[in-house]
Every structure is written in C-alpha cells, then in structure tokens.
C-alpha cells in the first residue's frame, strides 16, 4: 500500500513539474521544415566555401519570362520581385522553431511543409540574420553524361550542354557550380547562365545577348584558360555531380572580314586583326576550298553561306569563326504545276541547291522565314508549295491551291528571286546585265507557262471549239455555244406547239 502511495506521489510531482514548464519552450526546440526564398548570395555561400562571393540577382529585359517560376515553367524553383528581376532560389529548409520565431516577419517567405523533405538546407539564426548550410543530401548522385562546350553562342562567350543524358536526368536546376582544377568555383544563375538544362556565361568578350540583356561577366573572367573538372548541379532532389575534363579556351576581341565572292571557281580575300602573337593559325572552310595568307580559293563552289574557321594549333585559344557568301545571278528554278522545278538549261541538282538555300517566301505583302525560330515551311524539300500551310491559326493561302497569288521566293546566294504569279502561272526573274559587285542594273525577263484548254460543245450535229474563236477566251466561246443551244431549244419548242 505504501508503494502505491509512493508511486502516486512521484507521478503527481512529475505532472506538477511538467505543468510548470511552458508548452512553447518545448515546442521551440522542435525542428520545422518548409521552404524559403533564399537570395543567390546566401544560397551559394556554403556551397562555394572559401570561394564564396556576392552572387547578384538577375534583371531581365524579357520581363514575362522572369515571372515563369511555377512547376514545369521556365524558371521553376526561383523567386522574383514581381517585375523584372530573379532574386534567388526557393528551396527546402530545416530550422528550429525558436530561430524561425526570431526572424519574425523577415522569415524569407517561410512556407511550412507537411512532410520532411529528402534534401534541404539547415538554417541557423544569429543576431536576426539567417545562415544557410550546404544542401543536406544523404545520397548525392554522379551522372555519366557527356559535356559539350561551345565557344560560339548568342548567350555569351561559352555554353555547356550535357549529351547522352539518361531519360531521368533532371534538367531543372536550382543551382549549378563549375569547379576548376585550380580550386576555384563559379556559381551560375537562372536566365543569364542556367537555361533549359544548359549553362552559359560571358567572360567579357560578348557582353550582351539577343534580347538586349547586359551579361554580368566579371565573376566568370577567371574561367578562361582554366579546366573544369567538376560540374555540380543542385536540384530539388539533391546533388548531381558531373565529372569532366573540359578546357575553357581563351577568347579575345578580334575582327575577321571575308569579301563576298562569286560562286563557281574563283577566289576571295579576307583580313584579320586582334590575334595574339602566340596564336598558331590554321584555316579551314569546306571541301574544295583552301585558305592562306589572306586569300580563299575554291573550285565548283555552290552559291550560299560558307564558314571560315581559324584555329589555334597550340590549343590555348578559342576558334574564330566568320561567315561569308558566294553568290550567283543564275536562277535555276521555275514554277510548274504547284512546285519549283529546274529551269530550262539547268540541272535538277542546281534546282535542288536553290531550294535548299531558300531563306524567305513572300506571299502578297507578307514575308515568311523559311528556317530558324518561328519559321514557316512553305516550300518543301522537293520544291512543292504547300498551299494548305498556316502561320499560327491563319491560312497563308486563303483560297487554297486555286487562288491567285504573287509569291516571291528568295534564296541565300542567289541575287535574283523567283517571282510567281499563280493566276497566270507566270514566273518572273530579274536578270542582271552587269557584273559589277558594287552596282547592278536589272531588267525583267518574263516566262509564261500556259496550258491550252479545249472546250467542245455539240448541238444538232454541230461542233464548236473554244480554240477556234478569235477572242482566245474560252469563257466567251462557252457563252456563245450556250446561246446557240438556247436558240435551238426555243425553235424546237415552237415547232412542237
């Protein structure tokens, strides 16, 4: 009985002690999980370690894209200022309730998660300021993928793409870090650097991109001439590391100019400026071309764009690539029965070369690009014109293949376009009568493709042929024949009555 009384007394004492401790004190020691909007500098600080530096937000001229941060969108997992700037990354975190309370309203947009995330960053708070750990990932991955480096990209000086990716390779990066053999690390940001699974950056040579955005390059200048040996991708599921041995060749400001030449057999000249003295130049164009000492020679070259590539045999510097044009005044195609075919005196091969080089097709007053972004394929590879093609939701040829249209087909390297008038099945070509490269005089040469149509009407044993009328108008002949028939019918009816 004493034991029971003793146990009851002890239990009562414990309850009394627990009741004296505020519930908030116990809860404050609990870890809570959620997501926070983490500025780039804070997100990358622990990831970069001793290489940490201030990682700027990204301001963009394409404001609508900045806001595309929902799941499945272009910049999934980022957060922004609601206007034109990506500020950082929204990522899973673990934080004590006490530290979360200490942040007050400045809690980085904390949103509580119902479940414990597989990966997260630990958050600690001191003097009202939060610090973020590296990603806590119990099972980081290593990906066996190829690394393709391009030194010719509109998005900066360099671009890395991953090749031979497995189907489950995650291309939605919360962050990416390039680590080099000399112990440096470089943090990448969305839009300027991270874009649809690719990584691009400027090192100070190309400092703007096609949308007009100015590229931040100072932080990435040190990548030139270094060797990237590891690329760390941070996804919502943790680390994915790609091991590589990718040298980043040095780029430099330069000017290379190639004069336009005439297709066929001939030569053209080029100039080059700004090359370092230790750049060991080698030249390449295409089969049938040779380049040296400021001159490019060629044999049986077709009209079109060509590329002169200057490479460094010492492998220190990046290739320098310049396009040039070879042209002809020839027009090797004509329009016939709905398609482009070889014109008289030209081969099918020459016609195919024109079709392959088609750059634009103008229908009426509207011009359509034949290749590239937002292009419209109006002329097929075999020369057939697609009269059912649409631009967006709108039919380009409103009246289909039987309508009347003026179509102008322009091809790269061909100075004279093909002009088609479908109403008269007419093909018009501008024929150049002078050969001066600076000024040309043109005349119009017109070829009409006509099809003779025979209309025959029999009435009371008589035959009338449209081809026999002096007007040459089959419609008039048909009308006359109709009147004859009507007259004959009236006479017959009168006799019957």
Domain locations in the chain as residue ranges: 255-327, 333-448, 456-485
Burial of 143 (C-beta count, 10 Å sphere; 0-12/13-18/19+): middle
Q: In angstroms, rounded to a whole number, what is the distance separating the alpha carbons of residues 9 and 365?
A: 99
- Beta strand spans in 189-248 (E): 194-195, 198-201, 227-235, 238-247
- Taking the C-alpha atoms of residue 315 and residue 248, their distance in angstroms, rounded to an integer, is 10
pTM exceeds cut of 0.85:
no
436: its two tokens: 């001066």
In angstroms, rounded to a whole number, what is the distance separating the alpha carbons of residues 376 and 358?
11
Pick left, alpha or beta for residue 415 (phi over 0 → left; psi -120 to 50 → alpha; otherwise beta): alpha
Beta-bridged to residue 295, according to DSSP, are: 269, 292
Q: Give the bridge partners for 447, in sequence order.
A: 427
User: CA triplet 417, 421, 426: central angle to 5 degrees?
Assistant: 85
pLDDT tens for 170-197 read 999 999 999 999 999 999 999 999 999 9
CATH class of 255-327: mainly beta
Q: What is the pLDDT of residue 63?
A: 84
Q: Which residue, among 444, 475, 472, has the nearest Cα to 457 in the 3D structure? A: 475
Instruction: State both tokens at 382.
Output: 């075999």
Sign of CA dihedral 115, 120, 126, 128: negative
How many other CB atoms are found less than 10 A from the CB of residue 437? 11
**∠ Cα 319 321 325 (to 5°):** 160
CA distances from 359 to 355, 392, 458, 488, 497 (A): 9, 19, 52, 59, 71
pLDDT in tens, 410-467: 999 999 999 999 985 555 554 443 333 333 333 333 333 333 333 333 333 333 333 4
Backbone Cα Rg of the chain: 37
Per-residue pLDDT of the chain (497 residues; tens, 9 = 90+): 433 344 334 444 443 433 444 444 444 459 999 999 999 999 999 999 999 999 999 999 888 899 999 999 999 999 999 999 999 999 999 999 999 999 999 999 999 999 999 999 999 999 989 999 999 999 999 999 999 999 999 999 999 999 999 998 999 999 999 999 999 999 999 999 999 999 999 999 999 999 899 999 999 999 999 999 999 999 999 999 999 999 999 999 999 999 999 999 999 999 999 999 999 999 999 999 999 999 999 999 999 999 999 999 999 999 999 999 999 999 999 999 999 999 999 999 999 999 999 999 999 999 999 998 889 999 999 999 999 999 999 999 999 999 999 999 999 999 999 999 998 555 555 444 333 333 333 333 333 333 333 333 333 333 333 343 333 444 434 443 443 344 444 434 444 44
Name the one residue in this structure whose structure tokens are 């041995």: 245
DSSP 312: E
């Amino acid at each position: 009985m004493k034991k029971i009384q003793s146990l009851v007394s002890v239990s009562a004492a414990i309850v009394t002690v627990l009741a004296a401790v505020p519930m908030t004190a116990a809860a404050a020691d609990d870890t809570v999980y959620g997501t926070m909007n983490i500025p780039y500098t804070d997100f990358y600080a622990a990831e970069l370690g001793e290489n940490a530096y201030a990682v700027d937000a990204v301001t963009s001229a394409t404001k609508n894209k900045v806001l595309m941060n929902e799941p499945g969108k272009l910049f999934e997992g980022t957060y922004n200022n609601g206007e034109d700037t990506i500020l950082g990354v929204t990522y899973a975190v673990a934080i004590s309730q006490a530290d979360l309370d200490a942040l007050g309203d400045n809690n980085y947009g904390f949103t509580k998660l119902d479940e414990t995330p597989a990966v997260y960053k630990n958050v600690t708070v001191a003097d009202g300021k939060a610090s973020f750990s590296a990603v806590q990932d119990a099972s980081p991955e290593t990906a066996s993928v190829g690394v393709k480096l391009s030194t010719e990209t509109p998005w900066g000086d360099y671009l890395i793409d991953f090749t031979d990716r497995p189907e489950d390779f995650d291309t939605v990066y919360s962050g990416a870090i390039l680590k080099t053999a000399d112990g440096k690390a470089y943090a990448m940001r969305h839009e300027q650097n991270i874009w649809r699974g690719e990584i691009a950056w400027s090192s100070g040579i190309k400092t703007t991109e096609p949308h007009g955005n100015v590229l931040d390059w100072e932080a990435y200048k040190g990548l030139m001439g270094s060797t990237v040996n590891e690329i760390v991708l941070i996804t919502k599921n943790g680390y994915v590391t790609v091991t590589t041995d990718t040298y980043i060749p040095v780029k430099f400001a330069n000017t290379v100019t190639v004069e336009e030449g005439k297709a066929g057999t001939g030569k053209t000249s080029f100039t080059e400026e700004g090359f370092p003295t230790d750049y060991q130049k080698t030249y390449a164009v295409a089969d049938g071309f040779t380049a040296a000492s400021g001159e490019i020679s060629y044999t049986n070259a077709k009209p079109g764009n060509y590329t002169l590539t200057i490479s460094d045999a010492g492998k220190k510097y990046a290739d320098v690539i310049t396009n040039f044009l070879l042209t002809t005044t020839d027009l090797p195609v004509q329009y016939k029965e709905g398609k482009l075919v070889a014109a008289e005196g030209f081969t099918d091969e020459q016609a195919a070369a024109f079709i392959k080089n088609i750059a634009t097709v103008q229908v009426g007053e509207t011009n359509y690009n034949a290749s590239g972004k937002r292009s419209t394929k109006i002329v097929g590879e075999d020369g057939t014109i697609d009269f059912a093609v649409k631009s967006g939701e709108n039919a380009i040829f409103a009246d289909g293949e039987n309508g009347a249209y003026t179509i102008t087909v322009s091809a790269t390297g061909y100075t004279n376009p093909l002009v088609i008038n479908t109403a008269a099945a007419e093909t018009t070509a501008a024929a150049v009568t002078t050969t001066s490269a600076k000024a040309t005089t043109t005349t119009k040469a017109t070829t009409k493709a006509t099809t003779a149509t025979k209309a025959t009407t029999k009435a009371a044993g008589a035959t009338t042929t449209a081809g026999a009328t002096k007007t040459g108008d089959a419609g008039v002949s048909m009308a006359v024949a109709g009147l004859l028939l009507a007259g004959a019918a009236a006479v017959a009816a009168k006799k019957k009555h």
